[in-house]
Chain A
Amino acid sequence: MNARLRWRKLVSNFMLTMTGVCAFVCVSVLFLILGYLLFNGGTSVNWNFFTKLPAPVGEVGGGMANAIVGSAKLLLAASLFGVPVGFLGGIYLAEFSGTAVASVVRYAADLLNGVPSIVIGIFAYSLVVLPFKHFSTFAGAFALGLMMIPITLRSTEEFLGAVPRMLREGAMALGASKWKTISTVIVPAAYRGILTAILLALARVAGETAPLLFTAFGNRFWSNGWNNPTASLPVMIFTYAVSPYEDWHRQAWAAGLVLLGLILIINILARTILSRGIAVPRG
């Protein structure tokens, strides 16, 4: 009896240790990734990288200045498109709609969220690039913005819904219209959560490459305005990584480090905002 119990206890300790090993392995992957990027790209993240344009093939010393600015422009334009649609749509779901309409919209958003990014690229190409006969920053931003909509919409709905009834009822008791209540009481109460969601959506699309392949295309120079093709960090990483040039490999590592660093910072920022303040003040 005792022996059997000892065996079971042994198995138990072993298996539980194994789960700990699993967890350790999984978490350490993150640090391995960061470590590799730092090791390989750390020295290449220099002044040249941030300020110079790409050099002709085979020559060293180029940089990714245009790709960095290109990515920034793409993300800005994507947010200008995706965030209002998601935010206002979320307000509708949380405040105005009936359950039937809400289910349909929610379902569509979930569907959109699950669409592989390459298919979004196809969609953006047929809708924006072909009719206007132009690869453009605008087309790339459209594709990225599409991917931001579902996250923003669902989070807005969720955080608005979490605002306590007392706040709403208090405002209405004071005579405020529904819209006034929403804009001056409910949204400010939920703003932390919504901001978090926007940041997370931004971080997600910042690294997307596939949709940009057929929309923003690529550019060796600065991209003027919004109607021209533009370089972007993820596409540059892809192009340089599969090339045979050592110098380009170095730059790909550096770009990877910068990109991942940016994404991780946004993620950490978002989660800190969410956890530090209470997303929705309790009444």
Chain B
Amino acid sequence: MGSRSFLSRLREGDEIARLITLIFAAMVVLITLLLVYELWVNSTLARHKFGLSFFVTRVWDPVTDEYGALPFIYGTLVTSAVALFLAVPLGIGASIFLAELAPPRISDTLQFFIDLLAAVPSVIYGLLGIFIVVPLMRTVIYPALNKPLGFLPIFKGPSYGVGFLTAGIVLAIMVIPYIISVSREVLLSVPRDQREAALALGSTRWESTWKVVVPFAKTGIMGSIFLALARALGETMAVTMVIGNTPTISASLFSPGDSIASVIANQFTEATGDLYLQSLIGLGLVLFLLTFVINGLARLLIIVTTEKGSKVSN
């Protein structure tokens, strides 16, 4: 690369090209740093006033200017947990079908449709949530769960149609495509000999899949779950349209609640007073850190699996 002289490189525009593209690449880094900086600086008041107790205070009261993040952290975690509980079995099951059973052309076609599902915007999921899932919850799901199992704390109490469970169901539909596409890829990358060895030893198709292939790809599948989790944590529109918008902490899944993203969307443009606004930005910072950590873990797990696959097959 350095064999030609600087001047000759300059003359032929290479150095300029290098500089220009470097500036744009640097811009990406600068913007990201600026984003983190803005989040940090614009939440100073809240951080100084509340400190770490911000994470454990239940009260969110604009009248007395007292703000605690706990109800929103709770709502975010509960809805994401419900989403994963529903999405993981479905998603892994589907990805096994796509990777192991379906002939390649059908597998690709189905994956194509799954990719399209991932492209559906959040607000449309919200629209469907309001007009389909909420009435369904009220008329079918709630009676089905509450009558027989109403003694359990998670199924106790009245239902309003909106609430944690409704938001969890909508989120589950939204994150399934991520689980499927990544899990399908890692399953496909498991070397053939693993399967063939198991089959040669007399296992059934299912046994070779479940007991050999899937464990081999286990880390990557975990990665896909983390990816789905990161998406669920940050989801705004679909959640805010069906969660009930009440900062409540309740064991019951039928209770209305609120999530970090949802409360920011609702209250950001109207937060008068600096402490109010900065507390909301503080919530944004918490969300950012949460998704940052989960995304990082996801990527790590996926990389580990794909490397493992290539190592073994070599």
Contact = CB atoms under 8 A, between A and B. Distances in A.
State yes or no: do A and B touch (Cβ within 8 Å): yes
Interface of A: 8-9, 11-13, 15-16, 18-23, 25-27, 29-30, 33, 36-37, 40, 84-86, 88-89, 91-93, 95-97, 101, 104-105, 108-112, 114-123, 125-127, 146, 149-150, 153, 177-180, 182, 203-204, 206-210, 213-214, 234, 237-238, 241-242, 249, 252-253, 256, 259-260, 263-264, 267-268, 271
Contacts of B235: 116
With most chain A CB atoms within 10 A of its CB, the pick from B100, B121, B210, B235 is B121
Interface stretch (B11-19, B54-62, B190-198): B11-19
Contacts of A213: 265, 268-269
30 contacts: A12-B205, A16-B206, A19-B101, A23-B97, A26-B177, A30-B120, A33-B117, A36-B128, A36-B132, A40-B131, A88-B24, A89-B28, A92-B22, A96-B17, A101-B25, A112-B31, A123-B39, A126-B38, A177-B9, A182-B17, A204-B119, A207-B123, A208-B121, A209-B122, A213-B265, A253-B127, A256-B124, A260-B121, A263-B119, A264-B116
Sorted nearest first, the 9 A-B pairs with minimum C-beta distance are A207-B121, A116-B234, A22-B93, A177-B12, A92-B21, A12-B206, A12-B204, A19-B97, A88-B24
Interface in B91-106: 91, 93-94, 96-98, 100-102
A75 to B, nearest CB: 13
B35 A115 contact: yes
A86 to B, nearest CB: 8
B93 A23 contact: yes
Contacts of B292: 111, 114
B113 A115 contact: no
Given A92-B24, A119-B284, A267-B116, 7 more contacts: A33-B120, A37-B124, A114-B291, A114-B295, A150-B28, A207-B119, A237-B124
A103 to B, nearest CB: 11
A84 to B, nearest CB: 7
Interface string B207-232: 10110000000000000000000100
Nearest to A200: B119
A235 B287 CA distance: 22
Contacts of B122: 207-210
Nearest to A257: B124
A49 B91 CA distance: 38
Contact of B268 (A29, A122, A204): A122
A9 B236 CA distance: 45
Contacts of A116: 233-236, 261, 287-288, 291
Contacts of A126: 38, 42
Q: Interface SS of chain B: helix, strand, loop or mixed?
A: helix
A126 to B, nearest CB: 5
A123 B114 CA distance: 31
Contacts of B241: 238, 241-242
B97 A123 contact: no
Given A18-B93, A19-B97, A89 B288 contact: no
B90 A25 contact: yes
B123 A209 contact: yes
With most chain A CB atoms within 10 A of its CB, the pick from B124, B210, B299 is B124
Contacts of A37: 124
A256 B238 CA distance: 13
Contacts of B12: 177-180
